[in-house]
Amino acid sequence: MSVLARSVGNAFRNKVRTAAVVAVLAVAIGLALAMLVANQAVGAKVQELNASVGTVLTVNPAGGQGFEGGGEPLTTDQATTAAGVPNVSAVVGTSSLRLRNAAEAAAQAAAQTGQTGQTGPGGQAGQGGPGAQAAATLTTSLTAAVDAGTLGNRNQQANGTAGAAGTTQQPVRSLPITATGIGAGVDTTGKALNITQGSGLGDYTAASTAALLGTTLAEKNNLTVGSTFTINDQTYTVSGLFDAGTTFGNNAVFVTLPSAQALAGTPGELSSMIVTVNSMDNVATTKTALQTALGADKADVTQGQNLQTAVSSLDSVKNISFIAFVAALGTAGLIILLIMVMLVRERRREIGVLKAIGAPNRTIGLQFVLEALVLAALGSAVGAAIASFASGGIASALISSNTTTTTATTGRGFPGGQGGPFGGASQLLNSVTATASPGVIAGGIAAVFGVAIIGALVPALLTARIRPIEVLRGE
């Protein structure tokens, strides 16, 4: 009988024990493979995160950010200056606006006029909030996808846009719609904007009437690619839909930068700039050079600490999953070692007979190695099935437990606000998926076979070195 046939037969000599061993190995191997898959998925996501938004710097007016704070607006001349800074590969200007539903704005103005004989504090200008760049006068046929609720109505009342205490109850309103004008090149990369249907804005001129809508906003207004809506009586056509990952982020519109500047009546002004650096290694030096070129009193350059925190959290998940993989792999090896020690002790007489008839040590070692590999192969087959179902859940659990505090804030500092399309880090963190690819599974099983060989060889060779007469005498 050949060594291979004898090894396979020995593996199934005691079927109950074999089934129990395979079940225990399957759990250990399945956990090891699941952790390896999670490790690979997180590693790939870290690279994608760095490639997508890791080299991005955000420039805001000094003392202001979005609709908050004060200071002077940025200009297209400053964008030209930023583009000339060494290691800067792209500069995209943005212009932020706020849109109110036309019918809602008219009803609100009428209610305020009827209650006080005049508009509320600041008139309609109060709708835009601080630094709203004349956005309060912009109306649209769109209905916001997010209801104001208790907090929204309370905030609007504080800004003079809802009835004051003691006045007639104001109707429930929606939140303003965020409108952002973006410069050429943003939606062509497929990274900054996750366009799910349609195409980008295309023609980046003031005459452009193309727009990108968030999926939630489009659904609320029953709009699809090719549909039309109005902003300040100007008709816009939906060229594409994007998914920002959150309902609030999808309550937004993107138009071309010149079109937004024309709507706001602020030609040449920018709300912010998105600066892309050519390499992660140059981000720190470029940030310093950019701040110097623009002037600390004119612009604030931020790198996005939330992104660094997110990447750090993902790196922690990657390290944890790798340690868990090694631990599970070591457990599988220890199980095999203990099983083979037991089998070798049971077959000392068999080993003695083989030695007596001239079998070399390598033949005896090979017999037990092959038997261990049979058990490992059975355990790996079941373990791979377990990993294919469990790896996604394990990866999600690890990521959610380590990045909960960073996911909610990573998108800040980009146009569109928290969770907006420029908040690529937030979206990428929420989209980590673990797929049990054949290559990763094959690599994990190869590692299992490696520890199986070691676990079988050690006890077999130690026993095979004993002289046959000593083995037989002990029997």
373 and 457 belong to one structural domain: yes
Residue 135 has what pLDDT? 39
Helix (H) or strand (E) holding 452: helix 438-464
Residue 85 has what pLDDT? 92
How big is the chain by its Cα radius of gyration, in Å?
33
212 and 115 belong to one structural domain: yes
CA 48 remoteness from chain centre: 9
Residue 56 lies in a domain: no
The C-alpha angle with vertex 304 and arms to 298 and 310, in degrees rounded to 5, equals: 175
All residues at 6 or more sequence positions from 259 whose CB lies less than 8 Å from its CB, including other chains: 181, 205, 206, 207, 208, 209
421 and 465 belong to one structural domain: yes
Could you tell me if 12 and 365 are in contact, meaning their C-beta atoms sit under 8 angstroms apart?
A: no
305-346 helix and 438-464 helix, angle to the nearest 10 degrees: 30
CA–CA gap between residue 1 and residue 168 (Å, rounded): 98
Encoded tokens for 37: 């898959």
Could you tell me if 91 and 83 are in contact, meaning their C-beta atoms sit under 8 angstroms apart?
A: yes
Residue 160 lies in a domain: yes
The domain boundary residue, chosen from 297, 322, 343? 297
The domain boundary residue, chosen from 276, 297, 318? 297
247 and 276 belong to one structural domain: yes
170 and 202 belong to one structural domain: yes
Could you tell me if 464 and 338 are in contact, meaning their C-beta atoms sit under 8 angstroms apart?
A: no
- Report helix, strand or coil for 2: coil
First-to-last C-alpha distance (Å) of the chain = 24
Residue 130 has what pLDDT? 34
69 and 215 belong to one structural domain: yes
The domain boundary residue, chosen from 297, 325, 353? 297
17 and 162 belong to one structural domain: no
Helix H segments across 143-256? 149-158, 215-220
258 and 405 belong to one structural domain: no
CB atoms within 10 A of CB 122: 13
Could you tell me if 138 and 67 are in contact, meaning their C-beta atoms sit under 8 angstroms apart?
A: no
Could you tell me if 202 and 210 are in contact, meaning their C-beta atoms sit under 8 angstroms apart?
A: yes
CA–CA gap between residue 425 and residue 46 (Å, rounded): 10
Residue 161 has what pLDDT? 52
Encoded tokens for 110: 């009428």
Residue 352 lies in a domain: yes
Query: What pTM was computed for the model?
Result: 0.55
Helix (H) or strand (E) holding 269: strand 269-270
Q: Identify the segments of the chain with pLDDT beneath 70.
A: 1, 48-54, 64-70, 108-109, 111-137, 148-174, 185-193, 304-311, 398-436, 463-464, 466-475
Strand partners, 180: 96, 254
246 and 385 belong to one structural domain: no
Task: Please state the φ and ψ torsions of residue 109, each to the nearest 5 degrees.
Answer: -65, -40
Helix (H) or strand (E) holding 179: strand 177-182
- Report helix, strand or coil for 247: coil
322 and 350 belong to one structural domain: yes
Residue 113 lies in a domain: yes
Torsion angle, alpha carbons of 157, 163, 166, 169, to 10: -110
Tally of domains in the chain: 2
Polymer length in residues for the chain = 475
144 and 239 belong to one structural domain: yes
Domain with 257 in it? 63-297
CA–CA gap between residue 19 and residue 170 (Å, rounded): 71
91 and 69 belong to one structural domain: yes
